[in-house]
Amino acid sequence: MSPQRPRTTRDFGQAAQWIAVLVLFAAIPLAGKKFFVTMANEVLVMGLFAVAFNLLYGFTGMLSFGQAAYYGIGGYTVGLLLSKGAMPFAVALPAAAAAGAALALLLGPLCIRLTGVYFTMLTLAFAEMVWGIVFKWYGFTGGDNGIQGIPMPALLRSPVRYYYFTLIIVFTSFWLLRRIVDSPFGAVLQSIRENPERTGFLGIKVRRYELAAMVLSGAFAALAGGLFAGYQHSIHPDMLHWTKSGEVILMSILGGVSSFFGPLMGAAVILFIEDMIGKYTEFWEIWIGGIMLAIVIFFPRGVIGTLDSWIARARNRERTADGTSRS
Amino acid sequence: MDSNLVFTQLIGGLTSSMTLFLVASGLTLIFGVVNVFNFAHGSFYLLGAYFAYQLVSVSGVGFWAGVLLAALGAGAAGAVMEFFFLRRIYGRGGEAGFQILLTYSFILIIDDVVKMIWGTDYKSISRPEILDGSLTIGDLFIPRYDAMVIGMGLLVALGMWWLIRKSRFGRNLRAISANREMASSLGVNVPVALSLVFGLATALGGLSGALSAPVRTVTPGAGVEVIIGSMIVVVIGGLGNFWGALVGAFIIGEVTAFGILFLPQWAILFAYAVMALVLVFRPQGLLMKRGIAG
């Protein structure tokens, strides 16, 4: 943890990973196909949403089934501020993150009073409440019509420009989230995941940290929602629907919740599958459900996690002398 | 407020309480005995409603037989889910997360299967003639159908009390709920009991759906609405406590029914407000968990 820690090969490996991912995303518009840019934009937005969710689930061990509320509140903050308040986008986007944090400060203290499956239930119930309000409040949110034609600044109107803008915001957020996870604060979150009771014995106020994790996760989820609203030029209550919360859980688990970029990878895979299935049938839910079922039954550690442990096992078999097993 | 209106709301609230209770009691039973939180429980309500529609409105089976068969069908689907899928993840590390994912995947699958078979249009079934109209007590009216649903709910509550408290099967369930391994080593056939409980609980959900079908229109989204309502009920009553489900369902049914009088559009918010109050003052639920029999 000390700042003078010598740089290890692991650090360089990590830096290389970041640069590789960044370069890959930055190169996508060069392919010149509009579809790729659209897809990559969605992957970045959902990837940020999923990585923010994973701060809560993978790193703190709190399975929230209500993150769509934060994603949606971010989208609606941007949409409403731009279309009604006539605020500039540069104010609306940070305001989205602030709105997400505020909502977490409101609902979080109630949710963290309970743990385990109770916590999950509460997050879902409260998210449905927020969805219900947005869905029914025609005068303010546009109800189930949502809001279309959100005016965007001229600078960001071209899809490619908006894509690079998203790329910068998302990777800055990734960097911040990575710093949070690696900080002493992040170490406390991970110890709460391992054993909340013992963490409490260390004199740490567990609930306060859990609330902080919810606020941070909510803020970044809302930022993702705000980015989505700017890109779609429209908002819709579906952004807050519980299936969105389920989707982000699935993305994280599919990619692997124990790795930082796992959820981003999961987001890419799921969005790609949805797009493919969407071309052939309107019944995409059953496919997602089936994939999820298969993952739960056959890939208990997520697809990436399970592949990792297969590779590790294969390596161990090669190095027969080495008795240390990673699994 | 005039007393007739209050009485009407009271009866309406009691009816929806009973529908909620049937679902929530199954949810609580599964949690208490199998130690699983079944997010897909609302989907069995949905199956019950569509099975009843198929049997009564399409195939022309009589109303009572249709309702009964619909409940049994939902129960059979539940037992299949437990036997072929849920069973494979018991005792796995990080089980809670996998349970949620697995049951969630069943919501998606059942939703789409329902849409594939019956489409997304609203469906309705007509109630039998004998349940049309109202009973009159003095100058008060009780719709016959509501009276039947309330009676049915109370009957189920009584039956479940007998089953859990007095029967040999119930004794085994309480033993499993207290300590699964110990019960198993004392000769209780745990795997069979778990499948049966799952089947029974999902059949209750199906019964709720089948009974609701004539009074609420049947749509594919109904399952989720019901599971959210039931979750609020069990948070208020105490998850894993059978009587908690009854108390919670009564409170939510009535609060929503009277909330409609004051703020028609936002009635559901009253239920959330009650839940928030319970969470602040009694986070473990009104009835503390003392095993499934309370």
Burial (Cβ within 10 Å: 0-12, 13-18, ≥19) of residue B284: middle
Name the more confident of B122 and B249. B249
Please determine, for residue A323, whether its predicted confidence score (pLDDT) is greater than 60: no
Could you list the residue range(s) of the whole structural domain that residue B210 is in?
A: 15-219
List of chain A residues whose C-beta atoms are within 8 Å of the C-beta of residue B239: 117-118
pLDDT tens-place string over residues A171-186: 999 999 999 999 999 9
Q: What is the pLDDT of residue A1?
A: 46
In this prediction the ipTM stands at 0.82
CA of B102 vs chain A CAs: smallest distance (Å): 6
A136:B98 CB<8 A: no
Whether B136 and chain A come into contact, CB under 8 Å, resolves to no
Please determine, for residue B207, whether its predicted confidence score (pLDDT) is greater than 90: yes
Considering the domain boundaries, does residue B226 fall inside one? no
Q: What is the pLDDT of residue A59?
A: 92
Q: A-B interface: how many C-beta pairs under 8 angstroms?
A: 109
CA-based nearest residue to A259, from A306, A210, A314 = A306
Task: Find out whether A240 and A134 touch, Cβ atoms under 8 Å.
Answer: yes
* Number of C-beta neighbours around residue A216 at 10 A: 23
Burial (Cβ within 10 Å: 0-12, 13-18, ≥19) of residue A299: middle
Name the more confident of B169 and A301. B169
β-partners of residue B135 are: B142
Closest-approach residue (CA) in chain B for A127: B228
Please determine, for residue B123, whether its predicted confidence score (pLDDT) is greater than 80: yes
List of chain A residues whose C-beta atoms are within 8 Å of the C-beta of residue B117: none
Considering the domain boundaries, does residue B251 fall inside one? no
pLDDT tens-place string over residues B76-111: 999 999 999 998 888 776 667 788 889 989 999 999
* Helical residues (DSSP H) of chain A, grouped into ranges: 9-27, 34-54, 68-80, 89-111, 116-136, 138-141, 159-182, 184-194, 196-201, 206-232, 242-255, 262-280, 284-298, 302-318
Q: For residue A319, what pLDDT band results from cuts at 50, 70 and 90?
A: low
Q: What is the pLDDT of residue A295?
A: 83
In this complex, which of A117, A290, A300 lies closest to B96 when CB atoms are compared?
A: A117
Residue with tokens 């009780």: B142
Q: What is the DSSP letter of B142?
A: E
pLDDT tens-place string over residues A49-69: 999 999 999 899 999 999 999
Q: For residue A147, what pLDDT band results from cuts at 50, 70 and 90?
A: confident
As a residue count, chain A comes to 327
- Classify A24-318 by CATH class: mainly alpha
Taking phi over 0 as left and psi of -120 to 50 as alpha, with beta for the rest, B55 belongs to alpha
Please determine, for residue A27, whether its predicted confidence score (pLDDT) is greater than 90: no
Considering the domain boundaries, does residue B254 fall inside one? no
CA of A295 vs chain B CAs: smallest distance (Å): 9
Q: Which amino acid is at B37?
A: F
Mean pLDDT of B132-161: 88
Please determine, for residue B138, whether its predicted confidence score (pLDDT) is greater than 80: no
H/E segment holding residue B271: helix B267-281
Q: What is the pLDDT of residue B155?
A: 94
CA-based nearest residue to B67, from B223, B163, B203 = B203
Closest-approach residue (CA) in chain A for B119: A283
Please determine, for residue A7, whether its predicted confidence score (pLDDT) is greater than 70: no
List of chain B residues whose C-beta atoms are within 8 Å of the C-beta of residue A65: 39, 100
Residue A78 CB contacts under 8 Å (≥ 6 apart), including other chains = A89, A92, A93, A95, A96, A150, A225, A226, A229, A230, A235
Q: Which two tokens stand for residue A301?
A: 């550690």
Q: Which amino acid is at A70?
A: Y
Break chain A into its structural domains and give their ranges. 24-318
Q: How far apart are CA A156 and CA A320, in angstroms?
A: 56
CA of B8 vs chain A CAs: smallest distance (Å): 26
Q: For residue A291, what pLDDT band results from cuts at 50, 70 and 90?
A: confident
DSSP states along A53-92:
HHIIIIIT----S-THHHHHHHHHHHHHIIIII---HHHH
Q: How far apart are CA B12 and CA B258, in angstroms?
A: 9
Lowest mean pLDDT among A160-164, A229-233, A302-306, A320-324: A320-324
CA-based nearest residue to A218, from A98, A134, A130 = A98
Q: Specify the number of domains making up chain B.
A: 1
pLDDT tens-place string over residues A209-242: 999 999 999 999 999 999 999 888 889 998 998 8
